Amino acid sequence: MASTRQVLNRATPYVFLAPALLVMAVALLYPVAQSIWLSFHQWSIGAPLSSARFIGLENYRILLDDPNVWASIRVTLVFAFAVVVIEVALGVALALVLDRNIRGMSVFRTIFILPMMVAPIVVGLIWRYLYNEQFGPFTTALEALGLPVIPWLSSQGMALISVIIADVWQWTPFIFILSLAALQSLPASALEAARIDGATRWQTVLYIKLPLMMPVIVVAALLRLIDAFKVLEVIYILTEGGPGLATEILSLHIYKTAFSSQQLGRASALSNILLVIVMTITLALFLFNKLREESARRAAAAEGEG
Amino acid sequence: MPHISIRGLQKRFGGVAVINDLDLEMADREFTVLVGPSGCGKSTTLRMIAGLEDTSGGEIWIGGREVSGLDPKDRDIAMVFQDYALYPHMNVARNMSFSLRLAGTPPREIEERVKRVADMLSIGHLLERKPAALSGGQRQRVAMGRALVRDASVFLFDEPLSNLDAKLRNQMRAELAVMRKRVEKNMIYVTHDQIEAMTLADRIVVMHQGRIQQQGSPEDLYKRPANKFVAGFIGSPPMNFLSGELNGSDDRLAIAGDGFHVPVPEAKRAAMENRTTRRIDMGIRPSALKPVGESQSDPAIGSITLTVLVSEYIGAQSVLVCECGGQRVTAEVASDTPFAASAPMRFAVDPAGVHLFDPETEAAL
Ligand SMILES: Nc1ncnc2c1ncn2[C@@H]1O[C@H](COP(=O)(O)OP(=O)(O)O)[C@@H](O)[C@H]1O
Ligand SMILES: [Mg+2]
C-alpha cells in the first residue's frame, strides 16, 4: 500500500511544475483558444466582444474559396522554402570556410552575425533604402556601371526575390553561428584520423564534417522554417505585400484582414489555417527524419544478423 | 621498406621549446617505443612524424624521403590514437575501410581485407555496429583494425592502451606483442608506461623534458641506465637512490652512509679513484636487496639496515617499504620472509646490482 510519503514524493514534481504550467496555460493556450473561438464568429474591432455573432464555419468557407488566400499561401510556401534552402546552404558554407584559427577571425565572425541582432523594422528600413529605385545605393551603382536599373520592389517578378534577399541577409547568420558551434564541437581527433586516412579537405567536409553536423543543421533549418512562416515586419515595410499580391505572405494577409478590413473573426480563422500548415510541415519533416533513422537502424540490424 | 631518420627535430609552441634537437634512427621493421613521463613531448614527436603538427626545425626522413613538408596523406603512415578517434557516424566496417574507399580500392578487395583484419582482432561479429555501441576494448580493437587494414609502411601508436582498465590493458598488451611479430612493419609506439615499453619494444627511447635520455634494448636500459632519470624510470618497483660518501681506498673502497656500507664493485673502482668529490649517489634495485640474519657478515658483500614500515603483498613476492636514514627504500622479497614492522632489518646488497651516479650531473659512473 502506498504510504502518504510515497504519494507526496510522487506528487512533488507536479507541484514544482504547476506554476510554469499555469503560466503556459494562460499565456499560450488562452490566446489559441480565444483565436479558435473567434474564428467561428463575426466580430470587428471596436464593437463589444459580446456583440460577436456566431457564424459556424462561414469564415473558413469564405477563406478557402478566396483565390487571394490561395495566392498568399503559395507566396508563403515559396518564400519560406527559398529562404531556408538558401540560408542553410550559405550559412553552412560560411561556417566551413571561417572555421579556422587565423588572427582576426573572431572579429570577422562577430561582424557576420550582426544582421541577426538588428530589429526587423530597422532591417526593413535599411533594405527599403538600399532598394530605392531613385537614389538607393544599388540603383546608383548600377547606373554608374552603365547597367540597366533593376525594379527591385516595383516589379511583380522581382519583389519576392528582393524580399527573400533581405531575409537571407538577416538570418543566414543564425545558421552560420549554429553550424560554427557544431563544427567546433566536432571530435578533433576524428578529423585528424581522416587526414591520416588520406582524406582531402573536401572529402573531410563531405564524409566527416557534414554528416556529424547534420543533427544541428536539421534543427536549425526547422527553426528557420517555422520562423519564416511568421515574418511580417520586413515585408510590411518593404512592399506592404505588393506589387499586387506578389509578396503578400499569409501573416501579412492576416494582419490586413484584422486591422484594415476589421474582420477579426476571419483573421483568426486564417491564422488557424497558418498554424495548421506550419504544424503539418514541421511534423512531416520530423517524421521523415525519424523514419529515415529508423530504417537505417533496421537495415544495420538486418545486416548484422545476416 | 623505410628506414626512419629524425635529425635535429625541434618544436616550439609560442616561445616554449617542447622538443629540443631530437635525433633518432629507426631501422626497418623495428618496433620503437618512445617512453617518458606525461608532458615530455612524446605525442608531439609522434604527431610531427605523422604530419599533424608542423615542425619548428629539423628533418624527418621516411624511406629516403624528407617528409616534413608533406601532408599526412602523402607520408604513407597509419596511426592509432589514444582516444581511438573513430568516426562516430560510421559502423565498424566503414570505419575500418574509410581510407581504402578514399583510395578507390575495389569493393571486393576492401571487403576481404576488412574481414581478414577483423578476424585477426576478433571483431568480425561487430562490423555493423556503430562505435557508440562498443565497449572500450572493442573500440580500441577497431582503432587498431583501421590502421592495420591499410598497407601503410609506418604505424604510429599514441598510448593506445591507456584508456583501458588494468586487466584489459594487460590482455591487449599481450595481443599486441603477438600481432607485432605477424605484422612486419616499422612501428613507433608512444607510452608513459615502462612495462608496456619493456614488453613490446625492440628498442626503447626514453624521453624527458623534450630530450632523449637514452635509447637501447630493454635489457640495455635496465642493466646499464645512462643516468639517474632512466634508472628511476625503467624497472618496477623503481630503483632506490641513497646518497652516501666514498671511503677507504683500493679494495676496501666503499660507499657508506647512515645505515649502509657497500663495497664499490671492482669494475667501477678506477672511475671512483680520480673523483674530486667524495659525495656519490647510489642506486639499488629493490630486487638486489636480500634479507640476512644479524650474525652473518661478509665484508665483500655490502649491507644495509632498514626499518620496515609496511609490506605490500603482491603474491609470491612482497614489496617492503622501508626507511633508511630518512630516505625511503623498497625491497622486493619472497612473501614468506619474516619481518617485524618498525624493527631494524639487515639486508645484503649484491654489488653487481649497484649503480653509481654523479650527484651533480646525475650521469651514471
Ligand atoms: N598545442 C599545444 N600548444 C601549446 N603547448 C602544447 C601543445 N601541445 C602540447 N603542448 C605542450 O607540449 C608538451 C609536450 O606535450 P605532449 O607531447 O603531449 O606530451 P606527452 O609526452 O605527454 O605526450 C607539454 O608540456 C604540453 O603542455
Ligand atoms: Mg601524449
Over residues A158-209, the pLDDT tens digits come to: 899 999 999 999 999 999 999 999 999 999 999 999 999 999 999 999 999 9
pLDDT attached to residue B131: 92
Distance from chain centroid for Cα B24: 16
Site from B75, B98, B129, B159 to mutate, A interface, most A CB atoms within 10 angstroms: B98
Question: Measured between CA atoms, how close is A199 to chain B, in angstroms?
Answer: 7
Closest residue by Cα to atom 25, ligand 1, is: B39
A306 confidence band (pLDDT: 50, 70, 90): very low
Give ion ligand 2 contacts, CB < 5 A. Answer: B 43
Distance from chain centroid for Cα B232: 12
DSSP state of B226: S
Q: Cβ(A196)–Cβ(B77) under 8 Å?
A: yes
The answer, yes or no, to whether any atom of ligand 1 lies below 6 A from the CB of B11, is no
The DSSP code sequence of A54-107 is E-TTHHHHHHHH-HHHHHHHHHHHHHHHHHHHHHHHHHHHHHHHH-S--TTHHH
Residue A4 lies in a domain: no
The DSSP code sequence of A158-216 is HHHHHHHHHHHHHHHHHHHHHHHHHHHTS-HHHHHHHHHTT--HHHHIIIIIHHHHHHH
The DSSP code sequence of A107-153 is HHHHHHHHHHHS-HHHHHHHHHHHH-TTT-HHHHHHHHTTPPPP-TT
B179 three-state secondary structure: helix
Residue A24 lies in a domain: no
pLDDT digits (tens, 9 = 90+) for A108-161: 888 888 898 889 899 999 999 998 888 888 888 888 888 888 888 888 888 999
Residue A142 lies in a domain: yes
CB-based contact (8 Å) between A192 and chain B? yes
Q: Which atom of ligand 1 is nearest to the CA of B44?
A: 17
Which of B81, B127, B128 lies closest to A193 in CB terms? B81
Residue A18 lies in a domain: no
Among A210, A154, A172, residue whose Cα is nearest residue A83: A172
Tell me how far apart the alpha carbons of residues B213 and B230 are, in angstroms, rounded to a whole number.
7
Would you call A38 exposed, middle or buried from its count of C-beta atoms within 10 A (0-12, 13-18, 19+)? buried
CB-facing half-sphere around the CA of B56: CA atoms within 13 A = 15
Q: Quick check: A297 pLDDT over 80?
A: no
In chain B, the largest separation of any two C-alpha atoms, in whole Å, equals 78
Average the pLDDT over B123-151 and give the result: 91
Residue A20 lies in a domain: no
pLDDT digits (tens, 9 = 90+) for B70-107: 999 999 999 999 999 999 999 999 999 999 999 999 99
Tell me how far apart the alpha carbons of residues B11 and A299 are, in angstroms, rounded to a whole number.
48
Tell me how far apart the alpha carbons of residues A285 and A222 are, in angstroms, rounded to a whole number.
8
Query: How many domains, chain A?
Result: 1
Encoded amino acid at B118, one letter = A
Contact A198 B102 (CB under 8 A): yes
* Beta-carbon contacts below 8 Å between A and B: 66
The answer, yes or no, to whether any atom of ligand 1 lies below 6 A from the CB of B215, is no
Contact B73 A196 (CB under 8 A): yes
Give me chain B's average pLDDT, please: 88
Q: Quick check: B204 pLDDT over 90?
A: yes
Residue A278 lies in a domain: yes
Distance from chain centroid for Cα B133: 32
Site from B77, B115, B128 to mutate, A interface, most A CB atoms within 10 angstroms: B128
- φ, ψ at B71 (rounded to 5°): -70, 155
Tell me how far apart the alpha carbons of residues B190 and B47 are, in angstroms, rounded to a whole number.
11
Residue of B154 and B179 predicted with greater confidence: B154
B324 confidence band (pLDDT: 50, 70, 90): confident
The answer, yes or no, to whether any atom of ligand 1 lies below 6 A from the CB of B38, is yes
Q: Cβ(A93)–Cβ(A86) under 8 Å?
A: no
Residue A3 lies in a domain: no
Question: Measured between CA atoms, how close is B128 to chain A, in angstroms?
Answer: 6
In the structure grid, which three cell numbers stand for residue B150, read together? 591499410
Q: What length is written for chain B?
A: 365
Among B308, B305, B256, residue whose Cα is nearest residue B282: B256
DSSP state of B63: T
B263 confidence band (pLDDT: 50, 70, 90): confident
pLDDT attached to residue B283: 92
CATH code of A238's domain: 1.10.3720.10
pLDDT above 70 as % of chain A: 97
Domain coverage including residue A131: 39-305
Closest residue by Cα to atom 7, ligand 1, is: B13
Q: Quick check: B158 pLDDT over 90?
A: yes
Contact B128 A192 (CB under 8 A): no
Q: Cβ(B69)–Cβ(A193) under 8 Å?
A: no
Q: Cβ(B364)–Cβ(B356) under 8 Å?
A: yes
CB-based contact (8 Å) between A46 and chain B? no
B102 three-state secondary structure: helix
Which of A198, A207, A212 lies closest to B73 in CB terms? A198
In the structure grid, which three cell numbers stand for residue B323, read together? 626507511
Contact B128 A300 (CB under 8 A): yes
Residues 207-236 of A with CB under 8 A from B: 207-208, 211-212
CB-based contact (8 Å) between A101 and chain B? no
In the structure grid, which three cell numbers stand for residue B94, read together? 566503414
Which of B79, B84, B130 lies closest to A196 in CB terms? B79
Tell me how far apart the alpha carbons of residues A306 and B171 are, in angstroms, rounded to a whole number.
30
Kind and range of the H or E element at A22? helix A4-24
pLDDT digits (tens, 9 = 90+) for B117-132: 999 888 999 999 999 9
Question: Measured between CA atoms, how close is B185 to chain A, in angstroms?
Answer: 17
Q: Where are the beta strands (DSSP E) in chain B?
A: 4-13, 16-26, 31-35, 57-62, 65-66, 77-80, 154-158, 186-191, 203-208, 211-216, 240-247, 254-257, 260-263, 279-284, 289-291, 302-313, 317-324, 327-334, 344-349, 354-357
pLDDT attached to residue B300: 65
pLDDT digits (tens, 9 = 90+) for A21-39: 899 888 888 888 888 888 8
- B65 bridge partner residues: B62
pLDDT attached to residue B1: 47
B241 confidence band (pLDDT: 50, 70, 90): very high
CB-facing half-sphere around the CA of A158: CA atoms within 13 A = 10
Contact A196 B129 (CB under 8 A): no
Average the pLDDT over A66-91 and give the result: 93
The DSSP code sequence of B316-356 is SEEEEEEEETTEEEEEEEETT----TTSEEEEEE-GGGEEE
Q: Quick check: B297 pLDDT over 70?
A: no
Query: Domains (ranges, CATH) in chain B?
Result: 4-233 (3.40.50.300), 240-357 (2.40.50.100)
Residue A182 lies in a domain: yes
Closest residue by Cα to atom 26, ligand 1, is: B39
Q: Which atom of ligand 1 is nearest to the CA of B46?
A: 17
ipTM of the complex: 0.83
